[in-house]
Amino acid sequence: MISTVIVEDDFRVAEIHCAYLSNIPGFKIVGMAHTAAKAFDLILETKPNLVLLDLYLPDEHGLSLFARLQQLPRDSKPDVFIITAARDAVSVREALQLGAAQYIMKPFNQKQLAERLMTYRSARERLSESEEISQEELDRLSAQIRGPRIPRYSQEFPRNPTTASIMKLIELRKSSVSANEVSDELGLSRATAQRYLSQMVENGQLELALQYGTTGRPIHLFRVAGK
């Protein structure tokens, strides 16, 4: 069994991940944590094979926690699936540099997560069964564990009229804006505003900042890159 810890600040989402895994043979959930501090202690205690890790945690960024996990002894160091809404290139690049087995962007459905987990399970089983691995087999298993490449956004995107309107709004405000503000000002749906803002971060036009309140999930704020 692949022992698994779920690290997710949203209690409801954590329960959904738990329900997903309960339907996949070969995985056993050994704990859930909603903060980085709790997650680190739980991982030290349970020594899981796999961690499903969100990046937006209330007390520490998930990538910072991931970096600390990489310093653990070999027998305590878990594989990590990043599961997050973060689409910016910096987060993706750092996660891959740290050795993330998967980088899965929210939202996704049960089938998509199940496919990634079963592929990971298959690759682990193949590695545990073999005393020697050829380069060809290693390349295949590495690609299998990593999964499909994250597609590049179209280079036409920056010239889209909606992105121009968003950029103008932020520049006129001379401050960071949220997806809700963009939605209200430009008459877009919340989901559409979030999609454009995330892609503008990916393209380097905007920067993402997190504003933490006393309770709940952090607010995502967007500002012009480099300002």
Instruction: Considering only CA atoms, give the Rg of the chain.
Output: 19
Q: pLDDT value at position 152?
A: 39
Specify the amino acid at residue 68. Answer: R
Angle between helices 190-202 and 161-173 (to 10 degrees): 90
Contact by Cβ (8 Å): 144, 101: no
- Provide the token pair at 108: 């996704």
State how far Cα 93 lies from the chain centre. Answer: 11
Residue 33 has pLDDT above 90, yes or no: yes
Mean pLDDT (the chain, rounded): 82
Instruction: Give mean pLDDT, residues 95-120.
Output: 86
pLDDT-derived band at 124 (thresholds 50, 70, 90) equals: confident
Rounded distance between C-alpha atoms, residue 56 and residue 35, angstroms: 9
Give pTM, 2 decimals: 0.61
Using DSSP bridges, classify how beta strands 206-211 and 219-224 pair: parallel, antiparallel or unpaired. Answer: antiparallel
Specify the amino acid at residue 133. Answer: I
Name the least confident of 94-98, 132-136, 203-207, 222-226: 132-136
Per residue in 188-201, pLDDT (tens digit) is 888 888 888 877 77
Q: pLDDT value at position 78?
A: 94
SS3 82: strand
Could you give the maximum distance between any two Cα atoms of the chain, in Å? 62
In the chain, the domains with their CATH numbers are 2-146 (3.40.50.2300), 157-224 (1.10.10.10)
| Helix, strand, coil shares, percent, the chain, to 5 | 50, 20, 30
Q: pLDDT value at position 217?
A: 61
State how far Cα 215 lies from the chain centre. Answer: 21
Q: pLDDT value at position 147?
A: 52
Instruction: Give mean pLDDT, residues 97-111.
Output: 85
How many CB atoms within 10 Å of residue 1?
Answer: 10
Instruction: Provide the terminal-to-terminal Cα distance of the chain, rounded to the nearest Å.
Output: 49
Rounded distance between C-alpha atoms, residue 198 and residue 40, angstroms: 29
Per residue in 78-102, pLDDT (tens digit) is 999 999 888 888 888 888 888 898 8
Q: pLDDT value at position 156?
A: 39
Residue 148 has pLDDT above 60, yes or no: no
Contact by Cβ (8 Å): 105, 87: yes
Rounded distance between C-alpha atoms, residue 34 and residue 123, angstroms: 29
- Provide the token pair at 165: 């309107």
Q: pLDDT value at position 154?
A: 39
Residues in the chain: 227
The CA angle 196-197-203, to the nearest 5 degrees, is 90
